[in-house]
Structure 1
Amino acid sequence: MFRYFFSFIITLFITFSLQAQIVCSNASKIALDKKIEELNKMKVDTFNIPLREGNIARIFLDTPYLEKTLEIGKKEELVINFVGFDCTTFVESVTAMNLLFNHAPSLRNLNHYATILERLRYRNGQLTGYGSRLHYFTEWVLNNQKKGILKDMTLEIGGQMYNKKINFMSTHISSYKRLIDNDSAVNTIRVAETTINQQPLSQIYIKDIAAYEDKIQEGDIIALVTKINGLDVSHVGIAVKKLDRIHLLHASQSSGKVVITNKPLAEWLKNSKLNTGITVARLNP
């Protein structure tokens, strides 16, 4: 079914101040319009921004999981996909939709959504090639904090500092098709890794999540810190509350769709062999 949608991709060439080139299928455009209509009826613009994140995330439950949705074509373009998500594009799409509802109803459309998504997804808000995408979620948080969109809450909530060198992409170039024979993009990625490595890294260790759970709010953006050498996080999602416990609402590869964890986050991660802890980011009100 997914391949059917992508075989009918419509490329829209729209000139913004940032000269973005958009790729959006007709199916995604229809889905986006339906979500905007649904959220208008819910009057989510009356909620504060952090709380709104969780409410918006919930309307995407059961949306299919879909990998590599941004790797369309030979060059980097602004891909908008509401047919399926991986974990990162799910969080980006929900957050962009959230920020869209800061604006008047007349601006709640594909064009304006695209400008917001570009600002979130790319370093300093501008698409200038594959290397400009915020590939590492740690840099995604750092750069969007710099833009005034959100705040890293990890240390404030109770996290601890840890040391790790982030260099996975530059040491696994063959795993990234658009880095192969692309020295400019590789150099940009190395600069990004240097930026990350100059910043203090923090996490709330899995064993401590239950103790600090009451400081995590519905709508917080949760990233799972990984044990993989050179990599910062392995998965991301959005915190939601069920029976006063924090669960993770996320695009799940194993479930094949967007779901809420069947256990509270602390218990869900308890025996993880891949992760050591979490980071927490919160949208600014």
Structure 2
Amino acid sequence: MIHKIAAVFLSLSACTTAVVAQKVGSPCPLRLPLDTVFKGEAKFHAMVAKAERENWRNLPLPQRTMRVARELVGVPYVNYTLEIDDRIESPSVNFAGMDCWTYYENSLAFARMLRYKPGPYKPQDMLHMIEVERYRNGTCTGGYLSRMHHLEEVFHDNQRRGLAENITRRIPGAVKIEREIREMTVQWKAYRYLKNNPSLVSPMGKIEAQVSRLPVHHVPKQNVRGIEKYLQDGDICAITTHSTFGYTSHVGLILRVKDRAYFCHATSDRDKGRMTIIDRPIADYVNGTAKHAGIIICRPNELVPSPLWKQNMAKQ
């Protein structure tokens, strides 16, 4: 039976971007100053120039994402980079410091930007791609609760919109897991927006209750070595935890190197330099410590191109 499952999965994995996403909405208005929501503009423009010079746009999304991720290797690990105001929520980018979540977001957003619309590219284009990935229904309302704060909801919402597919349940050896999510409602004082707006704690609790009910599968870490062959460049790889109150504790990207699937992530480990790195193969990483339980794999899709491409062609 396991061989039949594997055969089906392999046939599906060949169509990595066959599902076309829904059309992307307009970007939200800039509610905070640009120098507040966008850090590292010089690096952004240098990367744009390199991407144009080396024609990254013509790479498939998985390879394009990892080309960007490689360019971001060495960026310092910095926590809470999204906590930029006491009340106003806004898409934000920080090329000077990243955590595990923003490293994958920035890599994917930049890669999508290159194919979504024609250049010249500006920070607002990158912010738009971040908004599409980070916010419920792809829209930032200016309120903190419009941001998705749990990876499980990001994967679920993005799959619903055709932006990605959570392939985990179809990987041989995957099993369903259940958790009672309540990290943010219990530790609300650790989050700037919640601390300054305690009235948001109760509705956040309702969101966490909804996340707790999502159908979540993972591949237990003892099975990961056997399924590395099903993983590909640009897969978002979340690390699951044994905690009763959370599904995941870390996230990164997969990079194929020969016959292994390597884990690329922003690490807070001092012995690894507290920065974005290309680490060990994912099986070695997840089995390297008792706190890891397994992995969840979400595979991003290409976006529907902007109508600006047609306008660009008409001008030429």
Please, what TM-score do these two structures have when normalized by structure 1?
A: 0.87
Q: In terms of mean alpha carbon deviation, does 127-136 or 231-240 score higher?
A: 127-136
Which of the pair has more CA radius of gyration? 2
Question: What percent identity do the matched residue pairs reach?
Answer: 26
Q: In terms of mean alpha carbon deviation, does 150-159 or 207-216 score higher?
A: 150-159
Q: Deviation per CA, 1:245-269: give whole Å up to 9, x if none.
A: 11111111112111011x3111122
> Quick one: distance in 2 between partners of 1:181 and 1:67?
19
For residue 8 of structure 1, what is the aligned residue in structure 2? none
For residue 201 of structure 1, what is the aligned residue in structure 2? 216
Asked if the contact 2:148/2:154 (under 8 Å) is kept, the reply is yes
Q: Aligned residues, how many?
A: 269
- Report the AA paired with residue 179 of structure 2: K
How much has 1:107 moved relative to structure 2?
Answer: 5.1
For residue 169 of structure 1, what is the aligned residue in structure 2? 184
- Report the AA paired with residue 259 of structure 1: I
> Quick one: distance in 1 between partners of 2:275 and 2:230?
28
The one of the two structures with greater contact order (alpha-carbon pairs below 8 A, sep at least 6) is: 2
Asked if the contact 1:24/1:81 (under 8 Å) is kept, the reply is no
Task: Give yes or no for the alignment of 1:260 onto 2:274.
Answer: no
Correspondent of 1:211 among 206, 213, 226:
226
**Where does structure 2 lack aligned partners over 5 or more consecutive residues?**
1-25, 303-316
Task: Give yes or no for the alignment of 1:276 onto 2:293.
Answer: yes
Asked if the contact 2:167/2:298 (under 8 Å) is kept, the reply is yes
Asked if the contact 2:76/2:98 (under 8 Å) is kept, the reply is yes
For residue 139 of structure 2, what is the aligned residue in structure 1? 126
Please, what TM-score do these two structures have when normalized by structure 2?
A: 0.79
Correspondent of 1:160 among 175, 180, 183:
175
Let me know the Cα RMSD of the aligned residues. 1.9
**Where does structure 1 lack aligned partners over 5 or more consecutive residues?**
1-15
Q: Secondary structure at the match of 1:281?
A: strand
Q: Deviation per CA, 1:112-155: give whole Å up to 9, x if none.
A: 22112112111112223112211111111111222221110111
Correspondent of 1:35 among 25, 47, 50:
47
Residues 167 and 209 (structure 1), Cα distance of their counterparts in 2 relative to 1, 3 Å cut: same
Correspondent of 2:251 among 224, 231, 236:
236
Q: Deviation per CA, 1:163-194: give whole Å up to 9, x if none.
A: 22222112222332322363542233223223
Residues 118 and 22 (structure 1), Cα distance of their counterparts in 2 relative to 1, 3 Å cut: farther
Match runs of 1:1-285 below 5 Å: 18-25=28-35, 28-75=40-87, 76-106=89-119, 108-128=121-141, 129-158=143-172, 159-180=174-195, 182-254=197-269, 255-261=273-279, 263-285=280-302
- Report the AA paired with residue 185 of structure 1: L
